[in-house]
Chains A and B, each alone.
Chain A
Amino acid sequence: MGMTMAEKILADHSDKEEVKPGEYIFANLDLVMGHDVSAPRAIRIFRKMGAKKVFNKDKIILLEDHFVPNKDVNSAESCKLMKEFALEQELTHYYPVGRAGICHAFLPESGMVLPGQLIVGGDSHTCTYGALAALGTGIGATDLAAAMALGKLWFKVPETIKITFKGKPSKWITGKDLILFIIGQIGVEGAKYKSLEFDREAVTYLSVSDRLTIANMAVEVGAKCCLMPPDAKIIQYLKERTREEIDISFLESDIGVNYEKVLEFDITKIEPQVAFPYLPSNVKPISKVGKIKIDQVVIGSCTNGRLEDLRLAAEVLKGKKVPNYLRLIIIPATQKIYLDALAEDLLKVFVEAGGVINPPSCGPCPGAQMGVLAKGEKAVSTTNRNFVGRMGHKESEIYLASPLVAAASAVKGYIADPRELLI
């Protein structure tokens, strides 16, 4: 019968030769990640469990990204707890503010994520790592505590949905447009509990950065994980970041495996996509958006805060000024991206356009600080969620889009098609 990518990785981390969808297993973990929201709670639970030592001090990553630089006394206390725990447990991978950036941008960038790994993170977008063929999945604080103590967790083996693309996208189409398009097609529950697998053809034309954006939003269709078969681009990306031996030989679904569904999308003709409030599936092509005036543009997050995203935005914003009533917030996702963007003069373009640069962090994405919205305000954002109140007041509105659409909208003051500006 053969196995899918998800089944292979789960079997490889359990004591079984073969696993089947629906089966419950215990599996050993390669990496366990917690951030300043999930880790403090997990640390308290870890202590309540009576655990004394983490299972492996090299395999746990604690990192601050959500409410840093500390937004209030409570978040300062949370980060203090993380620091004390990291010191007490002598963790190799502890990254306070200023050392890393947003978890899902930092882990791949630093070469820690490798094909075939099983990774859990106290964050729903841990599925991002599937772009590098690692099975990453989000967990809550109790799971995170158990994972830190035991180095293993229970899993239900998911069924797999395969996605394939027909054709080649136009140059205006980014990974963000493709994943928004898919979410619009299959809905927020379209892949619930499933492994969302892209086949080799689907990823051929995509850069590693675009693949990370797509995998990042797999959770927005309810997926447990996302997996993309690694190819030469991935090998190259990894070689620049790690000296670890990389074995990708087993990382493709066997021929003839039982997919729950196979979905094929023709992407030759798709336009830039925009997700309207209040669900990421509420997607329209840019030509159907109409003239929607906006108050803020956010370019950043674990979805679209990489150097490639900032380059696209800078291409649109170069030499332009944003309208005076509009706030433009740019957030390089990691310290390294910040430095690279500085070296390439991208930050200069943004500041000259009237933008402000936030420190590498989640910023306004989870609605806590550094760019929250007032009642009735509208934002175009390259983040991944546009739920009620996600970025501030419950009557504010978030329109999700690519960095190109976001930058074009910043220039125009309303949701705009980048093709109008760059052609």
Chain B
Amino acid sequence: MVWKFGDNIDTDQIIPAKYLSISDPRELGRHCMEDKRTNFASLISSGDFIVAGNNFGCGSSREEAPFVLKEIGIKVIIAKSFSRIFLRNAINIGLSVIDCAALVDETSEGDELEIDLSKGKLKNITTSQIYQSQPMSEFLLQIINDGGLVNFVQKELQKTRRVNK
């Protein structure tokens, strides 16, 4: 189901800096969006969506922001637009992010969605509306298909090791 937010949700709202010294993912996750919605983390079921306005994830470069959202069970974020570093971090950790302003305007909190990432097809089941978003560039799909940047680097390092042998 959809959790809806407005414009300019910044990384301090997603995860306040004062918690960044916590290394346990579950404990960190508990503080996700806490200033915005009380007990947000405990309300989420795995596979839920965030639908938000412009500039989602603006602010600091903390990777903990997409990380806590993924950790508490968010699968996809659909926004009118994302901040650059948030988008980069989300892709690098394998959290899907899609821009689709039309869906954001016509979707309410609690709606159910169905998403086909490979085709960029989005469906709001509650309203029966279908949307098409920009297909992701092949370059980024390759990183996502590798399972994020960690696996990508692993592959690169193996290549260089083979060359050095």
Contacts and interface: CB of A to CB of B under 8 A. Distances in A.
Interface stretch (A7-15, A138-146, A300-308): A138-146
Nearest to B18: A368
B89 interface: yes
Q: Which among B12, B22, B140 has the highest number of chain A CB atoms within 10 Å?
A: B12
Interface stretch (B53-61, B69-77, B108-116): B53-61
A82 to B, nearest CB: 13
Interface in A387-423: 387-390, 394
Interface string B76-93: 000001011100110011
Nearest to B24: A74
Interface in B144-165: 148-150, 152-154, 156-157
Contacts of B35: 388-389, 394
B16 interface: yes
A49 B61 contact: no
Contacts of A387: 10, 12-13, 59
B17 interface: yes
Contact of A37 (B12, B16, B62): B62
A179 to B, nearest CB: 16
A45 B149 CA distance: 10
A-side interface size class: 35 or more
A67 B61 contact: no
B134 interface: no
A389 B13 contact: yes
A366 B17 CA distance: 6
Contact of A49 (B54, B55, B89, B153): B153
Contacts of B101: none
A418 to B, nearest CB: 29
A150 B21 contact: no
Interface stretch (A111-119, A188-196, A256-264, A323-331): A188-196
A50 B159 CA distance: 13
B137 interface: yes
A45 B64 CA distance: 13
B23 to A, nearest CB: 7
A142 B149 contact: yes
B143 interface: yes
Interface string B1-41: 00000001010110011101111000000000001000000
A138 B89 CA distance: 10
A189 B81 contact: yes
A192 B88 contact: no
Contacts of A164: none
Given A189-B54, A387-B59, A146 B149 contact: yes
A143 B139 contact: no
A78 B21 contact: yes
Contacts of A366: 17-18, 60
A143 B89 contact: yes
A158 B93 CA distance: 22
Nearest to A122: B61
Contact of B150 (A48, A140, A154, A279): A48
B61 A192 contact: no
A67 B59 contact: no
A154 B139 contact: yes
Contacts of B60: 123-124, 366
A38 interface: yes
| A-B CB proximity, top 10 nearest | A140-B63, A74-B21, A140-B89, A366-B17, A138-B61, A24-B139, A142-B92, A124-B61, A141-B63, A394-B35
19 contacts: A24-B137, A38-B62, A67-B21, A74-B22, A77-B23, A78-B21, A124-B60, A138-B85, A140-B66, A142-B92, A142-B148, A142-B150, A222-B55, A222-B58, A222-B84, A367-B17, A387-B13, A387-B59, A389-B16
Interface of A: 24, 37-38, 40-41, 45, 48-51, 66-67, 71-72, 74-75, 77-78, 121-124, 126, 138-143, 145-146, 149-150, 154, 188-189, 192-193, 222, 224, 279, 366-368, 385, 387-390, 394
